[in-house]
Structures are given as C-alpha cells and as structure tokens.
C-alpha cells in the first residue's frame, strides 16, 4: 500500500486543516462546551466557504451533486475535520454537509424523488432504525419488530432503541422481520414517514453526551405501502450491513483525528509546564506517555488507511474495517486519557476539550457495532466460520 499522498490530497488536507483552525476553533471559544450546533448565521457563512472549496457534501456521489471523493481521501479529511472540541459528535458542525442516508442512493426513482433529493437539499431529515431493546450486537438475529403483509400494505409492530434524531425526523429507514424462519435473510427495510399513524417516539434516552440524546420508538399497527420497501423483501440485512461496514472507516478516522489533536496539545503543554524546577518534557514518565500516544496513533492510522485502500480497490474489507474500528476507538481513548492526565487538574475542566473527547471516545467503543462484535467478525474471517 502506497501511503504517499497525491498533490490533490495534500491540497485538500491543508484546506480542511486551515478551515478547522481558522474558522471552527475561534467559534468554539464562545460556544457552550457541549454545543452540537452553530448559530444559524455562522453555519450559513461556513457552508458557503466549504461549497467554494468544492467539499460540501463530500460523502455524496457526484451523480447526486456531491464531491464524490474516494474512500482514502475521505478518510484523510475525516481525520482533519474531527480535530476540534465537537469533532467526534459533529465534525465541523455539519458545515461540510451530510451524507444523509446512503442506502437511498440505491432507491428506485420514485423513492429518490420523495426522500433522497429532499434530504440532500436539507428539506427533510431521516433516521436509521435498526437497534432494538432485545439486543443490538447481532441486530439481524435480534430484530423482533414484525412486518406482516396486508394486501398492498405492510403492518409493522415493535420497538427500536438508541435511534438518533427520530424525534426531529420526517422519515426513517426501519428494519423489520418479514420472514421469521429465515434468520438474517428474513429482514426487510421500510421507508417510514414519521407522521404515519402508529409511529410513536416513546421516550428520550439520555447518554454521556450532555446535549445529545437518543430515542426509543414504538410501532403500533403502523401501515406502510409496499412502494416504501427499500430494495427487496427479505433483503434488508444486506442494506444495513453494507452501511455499517463502510461507515466504520471514517468513524475510525475521526477518533484518530481527535487523538492527533490531543497529542499536539500534550506536547505543547509539556514544553512550557514546570514542576519542581524542571519542564514536564524532561520527566521520563511523561516522555513515555507521549511515546505511547504516538505508537497508538500511528498503529490506528495505518490500519484505518489500509481499510480505506482495500475499499477503494473494490476488495473485501470487512476484517480491515473491523480492525480499524477497534484500534482507533481504543487507542484514541488511551491517547485522550493520557493527554488529560498530563494536563493535571486543567485536563478535567471544560476549559479544555479533553473531558468531552473522553466521553465521546467511550461511546465510540459501542457505536457502529461494539468492539467485542468487531473481534467476533475478525475471528470468523480468520478461522473461516468454523464456530458460531
């Protein structure tokens, strides 16, 4: 794998780095430490800048009006976009656009007109409804939400939990079991409008994030027309799995970006902070912490770029994406923890971003598939599915 960046990649990385340091960092000095959004006028101003850079909607394919970047370039930029206080929750506060729900790229023409294009234009919001109270680690087998055919409609009953943004969404992708005897092959993806009778936001689920929450959903005789099936009946697991696997690469990259920024701050601090007459930089214990940080960052970065490379080559990358997700989320947590420790009492104050990064990193070990499940994926691929 050649890690030498192209001239275009170098230019884009430099552009995004300047944007974060010159535009995002100054704004965060006046925002609440747990803020997840920018004031509307600032958001509009920054979107104009990213549009001028040619990077607005960078995750969206060119055929739908996006930048259409390859996975490697998108991964490199994800590392840069995350290097600010809110970078793990909302990189650059959404000023580079949103990939929306990538599954809709494969929707039929009618579904694209009703859901994909309005989402890309910012006119509609969607949610991804997979996880259930019965268990999220093996979602395809744990799904108990049922969809039963009734003429040209399907009637859905069941629950979802830990669903982000459903209370503010116009529609969502809901995965329900349509063939109980088919296991993973018996799940279908439905496009559900949130104003349909029988759709309920049952409660808000608060998390470690002070200003972020998830939702629990209830479906009671929710009637959905057959035209709202995304893909094929019983083909929902493939739709969900592809999304989760591919998204693990930029997900990992964001963790590495935060770790890089935390390491930079730690190095700057040890060069100016004195204890007992000497700089922290002269203390062997501190030096070892900085070294361990660098080892963690470089290892996770290599694994993540390797996954991006395989994805761009069109080769299977499930194992590589799982390795990247594990390495980046766990190494990133260690780096932030050490940087926080190096800063002492200041490290746990909201004057610095470490405490927010610490909370976000903890969540990342669960999101996009818990790390324990990623290890199971790797084991199955290495051993060849010789166990269950």
Which positions are annotated as active-site residues? 368
Cα-flanking dihedrals φ and ψ of residue 122, to 5°? 85, 15
Count the Cβ atoms, other than its own, within 10 Å of residue 322. Answer: 27
Cα-flanking dihedrals φ and ψ of residue 51, to 5°? -65, -40
Cα-flanking dihedrals φ and ψ of residue 166, to 5°? -65, -30
Minimal CA–CA distance to 165: which of 188, 208, 194, 140?
A: 194
Only one residue has tokens 């969809």, namely 147
């Amino acid at each position: 794998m050649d890690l030498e960046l192209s001239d275009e990649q170098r230019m884009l990385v430099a552009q995004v780095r300047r944007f974060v340091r010159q535009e995002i960092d100054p704004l965060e000095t006046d925002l609440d430490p747990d803020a997840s959004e920018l004031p509307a006028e600032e958001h509009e101003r920054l979107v104009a800048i990213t549009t001028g850079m040619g990077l607005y909607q960078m995750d969206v394919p060119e055929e739908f009006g996006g930048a259409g970047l390859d996975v490697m370039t998108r991964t490199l930029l994800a590392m840069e976009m995350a290097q600010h206080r809110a970078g793990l929750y909302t990189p650059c506060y959404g000023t580079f656009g949103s990939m929306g729900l990538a599954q809709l790229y494969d929707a039929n023409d009618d579904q694209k007109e009703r859901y994909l294009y309005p989402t890309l234009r910012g006119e509609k919001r969607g949610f991804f409804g997979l996880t259930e109270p019965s268990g999220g680690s093996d979602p395809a087998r744990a799904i108990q939400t049922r969809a039963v055919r009734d003429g040209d409609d399907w009637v859905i009953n069941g629950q979802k939990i830990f669903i982000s943004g459903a209370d503010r969404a116009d529609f969502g992708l809901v995965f329900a079991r349509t063939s109980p005897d088919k296991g993973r092959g018996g799940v279908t993806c439905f496009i559900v409008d949130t104003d349909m009778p029988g759709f309920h936001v049952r409660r808000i689920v608060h998390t470690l994030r002070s200003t972020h929450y998830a939702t629990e959903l209830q479906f009671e005789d929710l009637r959905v027309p057959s035209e709202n099936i995304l893909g094929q009946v019983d083909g929902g697991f493939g739709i969900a799995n592809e999304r989760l696997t591919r998204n693990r690469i930029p997900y990992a990259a964001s963790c590495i970006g935060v770790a890089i920024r935390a390491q930079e701050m730690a190095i700057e601090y040890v060069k100016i902070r004195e204890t007992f007459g000497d700089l922290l930089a002269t203390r062997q214990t501190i030096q070892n912490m900085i070294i361990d940080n660098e080892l963690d960052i470089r290892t996770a970065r290599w694994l993540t770029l390797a996954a991006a490379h395989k994805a761009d080559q069109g080769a299977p990358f499930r194992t590589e994406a799982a390795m990247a997700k594990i390495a980046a989320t766990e190494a990133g947590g260690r780096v932030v923890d050490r940087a926080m420790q190096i800063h002492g009492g200041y490290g746990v104050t909201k004057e610095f971003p470490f405490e927010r990064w610490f909370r976000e990193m903890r969540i990342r070990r669960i999101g996009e598939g818990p790390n324990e499940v990623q290890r199971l994926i790797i084991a199955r691929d290495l051993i060849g599915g010789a166990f269950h």
